[in-house]
Chain A
């Protein structure tokens, strides 16, 4: 049997930048030789998947078009990645069997609230993304996503001065809530900080092993 492809879950509130983070991190991983597949959950549409397919597959040619799959989950977004992840697991397993050459599969949750988490049966690693415009009180207010994720990503740092958010406060609170587990400040519009997210994925999910294509 082919080896199980590692799975990374990306969750966060509506508009926090889940799709943009994936659009930024996949090229960074690509430049290091790692090949990713993407499964994108949306409640109703498949807009996010279509956008990522156009950007990453059609225009940049970083992956085959069938490696960006959209899932319209219908109900609560967290149900599809936690309580009953069977629909997502089926997609992951199908992608894995069609593309054993993949180094990882990224699963994007539909936009949800602060209690999003991924079932360990679905994702090996959970990135939770919030944005500065939600207010600098965000990390302090906790919630399962912020508390339990493997990597907390705080996006849109360029907006901090415009929304009266203090990044120092967010940093202090993130550390207080999360202990020594990591967080990263990013700006997904410019790509600032995204290399740090990629490094965490390479270290903690891919174990710094060489990309499959290179390992031969």
Chain B
């Protein structure tokens, strides 16, 4: 059996919130290790991963946990931080506050059954290929003057409650 296995059973905090000071402190001590997981894996409760430094990690989280970018799952002599892998997304920006455009864009994107994230005037949704961005452009073609569609490669964390199926 692997002796060095670290079993993590809860999220202790997030480096973007309460643990920021501690993170900086551990960073200064060169004691931060990261585990990379995909967005799909962020909803998993149980998995085995290696950190960027090769430490063996077993995650066994309480029901209902969703891992977020920057979550700390172990904090002792080392801090183990979750990093969500960046992915391809389409960014649909509403160029003006027109309600009609917003509803039509929402309807079109809703029909794709994807998770979304809304940041200000931008709607962000994951895509698998350039072809999908093109398809979105065609679908929203009639609204071309009011929307702007670009592609990006970022950490995507969906809105809670914006259910996909």
A interface, CB within 8 angstroms of B: 4, 6, 83-84, 117, 120-121, 124-125, 148, 203-205, 207-209
Contact = CB atoms under 8 A, between A and B. Distances in A.
Contacts of A204: 47-48
Contacts of A148: 40
B46 A6 contact: yes
Chain B interface SS verdict (over half): mixed
19 contacts: A4-B45, A4-B60, A4-B63, A83-B165, A84-B165, A120-B41, A120-B43, A124-B44, A124-B46, A125-B46, A148-B40, A204-B48, A205-B46, A207-B5, A207-B48, A208-B1, A208-B2, A208-B5, A209-B1
A207 B57 CA distance: 9
Given A4-B63, A207-B5, A124 B48 contact: no
Interface residues of B, number: 16
Given A208-B1, A208-B2, A203 B48 contact: yes
A110 to B, nearest CB: 18
A185 B5 CA distance: 28
Interface in B109-138: none
A198 to B, nearest CB: 15
A117 B43 CA distance: 14
A120 B7 contact: no
A121 B43 contact: yes
A115 B140 CA distance: 27
B44 A120 contact: yes
B149 interface: no
B45 A124 contact: yes
A207 B58 contact: yes
Contacts of A205: 46, 48
Interface string B50-63: 00000000101001
A125 B41 CA distance: 10
Given A84-B165, A208-B1, 18 more contacts: A4-B45, A4-B46, A4-B60, A6-B46, A83-B165, A120-B40, A120-B44, A121-B43, A124-B46, A124-B47, A125-B46, A203-B48, A204-B48, A205-B46, A207-B7, A207-B48, A207-B58, A208-B2
